[in-house]
Amino acid sequence: MPPRTRTPASRRAVRHRLAADAGLLVVAAAFVLPLAWVVLSSLDAQADLRVKLPDGLTFDNFDAVLTPDITFTPLLNSLLLCGGGTALTVACAALAAYPLSRFRSRLNRPFLLTILFATSLPITAIMVPVYALFVQVNLIDTMQGTIFFFAASQLPFAIWLMKNFMDGVPKELEEAAWTDGASSFQSLVRVVLPLMGPGVAVVTVFSFVMMWGNFFVPFMLLLTPDQMPAAVSINEFFGNRGTVVYGQLAAFSVIYSTPVILLYVGVARRLGGGFALGGAVKG
């Protein structure tokens, strides 16, 4: 007979763990159904709106949507818009964060408070005036206009995150660079930013993911169909084509979503799950 080593307390702990596991799995089952639908339907020749196992796996849906018209052009547009917007955001945020993090000034606090205030404004609300404004200054239906607006809307949070990450880089290393005759800009680019590589990666990925998934901004600011990013062109599956081919819609959804999920996983793994929340929700 094996020795009984389990104390009542550890038995209770096991019971609690099992109960917690069961509770979580029930919630997960509810959460996974819509995700299962999109994955299974994309591989199903007879996909409809219900979750079901396909009779046989097929890549026909992917074949059908992998055309310049349906997939490549919108994805390329998304890449241009979000890549451009992200590059602009990260560059401006890195520059802006430097004086905020490095120099004491009476203006820092009001500036940071304004930034934090802007972080939580409902951007959706200003899309109508932005449209009206863009019509007046001829930026409507232009990629660059949309990129500028994307960058501006993401900047407050990016500056805030970037500043917090920069605060974590010790000042001594920079001072060493200064003694060697480096300018502030050189020490920012050569010393500070490389040392906060993970922080820069977080800001970059977060900005990109937010823009990639954003629907309302390009929906309002772009009009020409061949400039539309995937976020808007996906609407076409429903809008004008009569009957919806759900399998193809699902296949397109999978293709469109995969990049951001991979990016998120790549960064989250290195930095822990709550990375995107950064400094904004400490407390």
Q: Is 65 in the site for another protein (CB under 8 A)?
A: no
Q: Is 93 in the site for another protein (CB under 8 A)?
A: yes
Whether residue 207 contacts residue 154, with contact meaning beta carbons closer than 8 Å, is answered with yes
DSSP letter (8 states) at residue 273: G
- Binding another protein (rule: CB under 8 A), the pick from 91, 173, 176, 223 is 91
Stretch that binds another protein, among 56-64, 92-100, 169-177, 193-201 (CB under 8 A): 92-100
Q: CA 238, CA 222: separation in Å to the nearest integer?
A: 19
Q: CA 97, CA 112: separation in Å to the nearest integer?
A: 10
Q: Which is nearer to another protein, 176 or 261 (CB)?
A: 261
Alpha helix positions (H), the chain: 8-42, 60-65, 73-102, 108-119, 127-136, 143-167, 171-179, 184-187, 193-195, 197-213, 216-221, 230-233, 236-239, 246-271
CA of residue 272 relative to chain centroid, distance: 16
Q: How far apart are CB 274 and another protein at their closest, in Å?
A: 4
Of 263, 131, 129, the residue nearest 203 (C-alpha):
263
Q: Is 67 in the site for another protein (CB under 8 A)?
A: no
Q: CA 75, CA 212: separation in Å to the nearest integer?
A: 10
Residues 154-173 that bind another protein (CB under 8 A): 155-156, 159
Stretch that binds another protein, among 26-34, 60-68, 171-179, 195-203 (CB under 8 A): 26-34
Q: Is 226 in the site for another protein (CB under 8 A)?
A: no
Distances (CA, A) of 87 to 29, 194, 203, 208, 255: 38, 16, 10, 9, 23
Whether residue 230 contacts residue 256, with contact meaning beta carbons closer than 8 Å, is answered with yes
Q: Is 276 in the site for another protein (CB under 8 A)?
A: yes
Q: Is 223 in the site for another protein (CB under 8 A)?
A: no
Q: Is 23 in the site for another protein (CB under 8 A)?
A: yes
Q: Is 101 in the site for another protein (CB under 8 A)?
A: no
Residues 40-59 that bind another protein (CB under 8 A): 41, 48-51
- Binding another protein (rule: CB under 8 A), the pick from 61, 153, 187, 207 is 153
Residues 198-217 that bind another protein (CB under 8 A): 209, 212-216
- Binding another protein (rule: CB under 8 A), the pick from 92, 189, 245, 271 is 92
Give the 3-state secondary structure of residue 189.
helix
Q: Which is nearer to another protein, 41 or 77 (CB)?
A: 41
Whether residue 98 contacts residue 188, with contact meaning beta carbons closer than 8 Å, is answered with yes
Whether residue 81 contacts residue 143, with contact meaning beta carbons closer than 8 Å, is answered with yes
Lay out the site mask for another protein across 230-269 (x = CB under 8 A, - = otherwise).
xxx-xx----------x--x---x--xx--xx--x---x-
Stretch that binds another protein, among 69-77, 173-181, 183-191, 192-200 (CB under 8 A): 183-191
Stretch that binds another protein, among 59-67, 150-158, 170-178, 192-200 (CB under 8 A): 150-158
Lay out the site mask for another protein across 108-147 (x = CB under 8 A, - = otherwise).
-x-xxx--xxxxxxxxxxxxxxxxxx--------------
